[in-house]
Every structure is written in structure tokens, then in C-alpha cells.
A and B are shown apart, each in its own frame.
Chain A
């Protein structure tokens, strides 16, 4: 397999989109779970379909995992090192990729933290 040239990759739309995907997908997944999960509580209380919360958590985790993968993939292309303060596109991309990686891990934990109460609490209890 031909080795990718990191400089040209991170100057093109595809590489830049992967970087932004790595940064933004996991927070988006967390917000989706919070907003939809909160709105679903009364509906689930009425219908008893508590699997919807688990399904939602799964979807959110999958989206966050996609972000994590994109960030990890970009970081490996940029050279998996701690970011420096270089002004070139590779340094900038390494910074964004590692940032995306850490943000994805953080928001994955947040999604799990928001999912745990759905395992324990009755949606109708007030």
C-alpha cells in the first residue's frame, strides 16, 4: 500500500474534514444523547420502552467512536507524537488530531456517565 504524504493530505479537504470530524463528532454525540435522552424520559415513562435510552446511548457511542477513529487515524498520519509549536500543516494537524483524540475520550466517558442512570432509575419516579 502506498504511503500517504502527510503534508499534502492535511492540505486537502479530505484530511481537513477528518481532523474536524475527530474534534467535533464526539461532542455532537454527547449533545445528541443529552438532548434526545432528556426529551425521551416522559415518553419512555408512558410507553415503558426503556430500551430506547440504551439504543440512544449505543448510537451516541458509535458516533463518538467514529470521531475517536478519525482523530486516531489523523494522528498516526501526522506522526504519533505530542504536538509541538511548529507552524507547518503537520504540526497543526498533529495538534488537532491529538486534541480530537482527547476530546473523544472525554465525551465517550460523559456519554457512559449519562447512560448509567438509565440502568438504575425508573423513568417515572419523581
Chain B
């Protein structure tokens, strides 16, 4: 066969038709519940995450209205407690982690040059678990039954004795249930990154966002189980009278250890994918390979490890020996080294270039400013004496918002503006984007920087009001007004999302002239992602492909069934082909069954058994063998 004939075979319209047919998701309302394709599930995670971000933001606005004047009666104390608890739960559990996973689920398989993730049905299951958990938490709030003990629910306050009612029961069971979603997403991201990279994409050629998602996923695998164990123990303390966290017979500090062994890595679970986004955005907008690829990868890996050695710095004021605290002071200070390495590598990449100051890069530059301030105050609170002074004050509120909004939300919005063309096929408005950035940047700093001062003045966190003679009224009013500017910044981005959906400039495949593979497929990607699985010839494949040579592709992948290529872990050498499952309603039914088991436990002990039986039925349906197609039967093994 000549080269021309070979090209005709692999480019035939019949093959494209087959691929479209095989990978398509069923249309219609009922079909929606059977989708399993990664682009579909990733988009759902992203949209749902933003909905929860808006809800969490509205809760923050209510808090700021309440605090805008001393001795204000806008919110009663118990409702205020429910609101700050739900704000934390929403932003940490329902927004930040799921939306990072959503971007990872959508983008990573495209960056790897594959057609779907390793476990598509598990992917859909994870989404439904997340959705059910989020709706359940907000139902509790609307029924005035939300937890009112902070997002970390310390016993003994969270015990049945001091928090009667269903609020903490909702917290303990729903949090456990919700983390199943994070875990399944992490497992399949790891499997996909290790085994489905396009041939030639050895470990040292992986895009930095993929590295970041890999580190994030491993962190989720190790961080979430302690929280799930802890929240099950808390639920048992409350419902069946065990004494895990009861003072005297149990140990309330055990909860703090279990919680913060999850809670501190959680910060890095949010931050690390954002760091990956920043590396890719800077590479694209400077049009040069990132400086210090190896150092950046190592920094991500080092942060991934050290992130697990900081949890006790949330417990400095619990009365532990100074020596014990100092172990964690050392680790907390050490994490500044890999974080600093990253900043210097990015600055070196930007140095001497003429970057294109589009909205994604503006958000990244905003990250630099804000995250460095948050990092510096982080080094301050890593020190035991300083932390003891500012513990549970607004200084902490300022610090962690600088870290989480600066380190997580700014790069996330940068990523949104960057990948929106890939998701929708249209560019977002640059004018509105720049307005949004400046409102967000100015509003953020005016809102949170004065909180450092309030904290140093002694204003405690989690109080629904304060007395006038304390003199905090003017600054709190200023903070509340500034929060309005911040909200306008976010609002203009959301307006931009909807406006650009219909009116945005058509993007084409690669509007930014980026280097990684997700920009090598159409925007938005077809159901099968890539017409041909590419072969990677460099760390920046799209930049290399454009230098006039033919693009090497994989042949031999069947188009008449959902088939993809599995490659080796280190070198991405082709190993075998794997057949993926198609659309199915069973992931939804399994999520509902597991939800009944967990949710029902709050009301009666029989429900876990009911949930188990229903889950068994759903799993039997999920794995029920299907008759092979004629072609599959005929294929030699």
C-alpha cells in the first residue's frame, strides 16, 4: 500500500461516521442521565461547581451584610452560624475540589491524546454522587437544619449533646458520601494519566497541568480516607452512642488530627492543579517553553509530599508540647521552598519576553501578587508564637482567603478564560474579561487585606456581631462594600460566559497558538476527541508539528466500537487496545442507592442495609454481560 492509499484509508469519511456513531451520547432528557463521555461529565462538574460557587458567594454576601455594622440584627446568631458553616462546606467540598476535578476530567484526556478516561461509568457515578451530596446539603440549609459548627465540626461542640438536631448528622454523613466522588475521580485520573498517554509522551514530556493533576489525585487518595473514617466515627458517636471523640472516654483531639490530616492537604489539592494551569498559561502567552520544567515538576511532587506534614499547625493552641509543634513548624517553613522555586521559574519564563496580556495571563499575574502575600502570612502563622497570637482571628481569615482565592480561584478563572474556547468553540469577550479581572483583583485586595488589621486588633472569627466601642465598625463597613466590588468582578465573568456562548468570536482549533494536544482537536471536541490518536514527538507537540512535517498518528484502533490505546507507564509505549463501556443509566442508579444508604442512616440504622442491597442490584446491572457484536466475536484474540 502506498503512502497516499494509506492516508486515504485512515482518513475515510466512513471511519469518521463510525466513530461519531459509536462515541455519541444519547440525546434527549432521559438520554442525559446515561452520558459517560469525559467531556460531558467534565463539563457537568465545572458547571455544577460554578453554581455552588455562586451559592457560597451569596452566603458570604449575607455574612458581610451582617458584619457591616456593629450589633447588627440582619441575621440571627444561629442562622449566621449555619451560613458560615455552609459557606466553608460549599467552597471547600462543593466548589473548589470538584471544579478542579472537572477541569482535569475535561482537559487531561485531551492533553494526553486519548478518547476517554479509563473508567467512564465510574466517572458518571462520581458526578451523580457529588450532585446528590450538594443538593442534600442545601436542602438542609433551606430547611433550617444545616450544621452550625464550622466546616471542621470540632467535637465536643459537634457532639449530640451540644449540637442536637440533624445539622451535624447531615454534615457527617454527607461529607463521607461526597468524598466518594472525589476518590473515584482521583483513581481514574491516575489510571488515565499512567496508562493512556499518547505514544511518545514519556513522563518527561507530560504537560505540567497533567503532572499537577497527577499529584492532586494522589493527594486525594491519601487525604480523603482519614476524613471519611473520622466523619463515620462522628456519625456513630451521634447516632449509636460510641465514644470516639467524647472527652474523657474518647479524645476530641483525635477528630482534629483526622480532620486536619485531610484538611491541610485539601488546600494543596486545590492549589496544585491551579499551579499546573499557571504553567500552561504562561507557556502559551509567552510562546516559549517554560523555564525549569524539571524543577517545576519536582516542586509539585515535593509540595504533594510536604503538604501531608503540616496538619498539626492548625492545632498549635491545643496545648501540645512545644517540641511536637516544632516538627510541624519545620515542615511548614520547608514548603515555602518548592513554592518559591515555582514562582522563580515562572518569572524566568516571563523574563525578556513580550507576553500577550490577554485575560488568562492577567489572572495569572494577579495570582502572583495575591499568592505571594498569602504565602508570606503563611510563613508567619507557621511560627508557633505568632500563630498563638492570631489564632481564630480575622488575620487567619485574611491569610487563607489570600491563599485559596489567590492560589485557587484566580488561576481557575484564568483557566476558564483559557479553555473556554475549547469547551464551547467561542472566545470569551476580552473587554469584559479585563473589566472582570480588575474588579476582582481590586475588590479582592480591598476586601481581604484590611482583615489582617482586624485580626491583629483581636476581632475573632465566627462571631455574628461585635460591640461598637471596639472600633471595628468602619473597617468592617469598608470590607463589606469592597466585597460588593469583588462580587461585581465575578458577576461580570459569569455574564461573559453566557454572552460569549452565542456572541463570542469563533475560536477555531487553537486560538492561542498553544503547544499541548488539547488544542489539536476541534473546538468543542467531537465525542471521540481525536480523529486519529497522535504520536508525540516533543514536549510541545503542536509547536513541533507545525514545522512542515507530516503528523505521525496511531493506526489500528477500531472505529466500530469504543476502543482506545493503552500505553506503558514510563515511556508511553503502545501495549494493547482496551474497549470502553458505552452510555448507561446504572451509574446514576448506583449513586442513588449509595445515597439512600448514607442519607437514610441519619434516620434509621436499617438504611445502610437497604442501601447495600440496592447498590448490589445496581452493580449487578452495571456489570451485566452484554452480547458481543458480530465484529467483536469474529476478531482473533
Please indicate the chain B residues that have their CB under 8 angstroms from the CB of A34 in the complex.
Answer: 309, 327-328, 331
A89, CB-defined interface residue at 8 Å: yes
Please indicate the chain A residues that have their CB under 8 angstroms from the CB of B588 in the complex.
Answer: none
Please indicate the chain B residues that have their CB under 8 angstroms from the CB of A42 in the complex.
Answer: 321
A87 and B323 contacting across the interface, CB-CB below 8 Å: no
What string of 1s and 0s marks CB contacts (under 8 Å) between B170-211 and chain A? 000000000000000000000000000000111111000000
- Can you name the residue of chain A whose Cβ is closest to the Cβ of B301? A103
B537, CB-defined interface residue at 8 Å: yes
Within the assembled complex, what's the spacing in Å between the Cα atoms of A37 and B328? 11
A125, CB-defined interface residue at 8 Å: yes
What string of 1s and 0s marks CB contacts (under 8 Å) between A79-99 and chain B? 000110111110110111011
Please indicate the chain B residues that have their CB under 8 angstroms from the CB of A41 in the complex.
Answer: 320-321, 323-324
Please indicate the chain B residues that have their CB under 8 angstroms from the CB of A6 in the complex.
Answer: none
Within the assembled complex, what's the spacing in Å between the Cα atoms of A98 and B537? 22
Across the interface, B294 reaches (CB within 8 A) one of A37, A99, A106, A109, namely A99
CB distance from A77 to the nearest CB of B (A): 15
A110, CB-defined interface residue at 8 Å: yes
Q: A34-B309, A85-B539 are in contact. Are A99 and B323 (CB under 8 A)?
A: no
Q: A31-B305, A82-B294, A106-B338 are in contact. Are A92 and B571 (CB under 8 A)?
A: yes
Please indicate the chain B residues that have their CB under 8 angstroms from the CB of A117 in the complex.
Answer: 323, 326-327, 329-330
What string of 1s and 0s marks CB contacts (under 8 Å) between B519-558 and chain A? 0000000000000000011110000000000000000000
CB neighbors of B among A1-60 (8 A) = 16, 23, 27, 30-31, 34, 37-38, 41-42, 45
A89 and B327 contacting across the interface, CB-CB below 8 Å: no
CB distance from B175 to the nearest CB of A (A): 24
Please indicate the chain A residues that have their CB under 8 angstroms from the CB of B18 in the complex.
Answer: none
B334, CB-defined interface residue at 8 Å: yes
Specify which of B204, B297, B298 lies most central, judged by the most chain A CB atoms within 10 Å of its CB: B204
Count of A-B residue pairs with CB < 8 Å: 114
B322, CB-defined interface residue at 8 Å: yes
Please indicate the chain B residues that have their CB under 8 angstroms from the CB of A23 in the complex.
Answer: 301
What string of 1s and 0s marks CB contacts (under 8 Å) between B566-587 and chain A? 0000111000000000000000
CB distance from A85 to the nearest CB of B (A): 4
A95 and B203 contacting across the interface, CB-CB below 8 Å: yes
B27, CB-defined interface residue at 8 Å: no
CB distance from A92 to the nearest CB of B (A): 4
Across the interface, B302 reaches (CB within 8 A) one of A96, A103, A114, namely A103
B333, CB-defined interface residue at 8 Å: yes
A124 and B331 contacting across the interface, CB-CB below 8 Å: no
- Can you name the residue of chain B whose Cβ is closest to the Cβ of A93? B570
B491, CB-defined interface residue at 8 Å: no
Please indicate the chain A residues that have their CB under 8 angstroms from the CB of B309 in the complex.
Answer: 30-31, 34, 110
B327 and A123 contacting across the interface, CB-CB below 8 Å: no
Top 8 closest pairs, chain A to chain B, by CB: A117-B326, A95-B204, A85-B539, A113-B330, A27-B305, A92-B202, A121-B323, A41-B324
Interface residues of B (CB under 8 A from A): 200-205, 293-295, 297-298, 301-302, 305-306, 308-309, 312, 319-324, 326-331, 333-334, 337-338, 536-539, 570-572
6 A/B residue pairs, CB under 8 Å, sorted by A: A85-B205, A92-B571, A103-B298, A114-B327, A117-B326, A117-B330
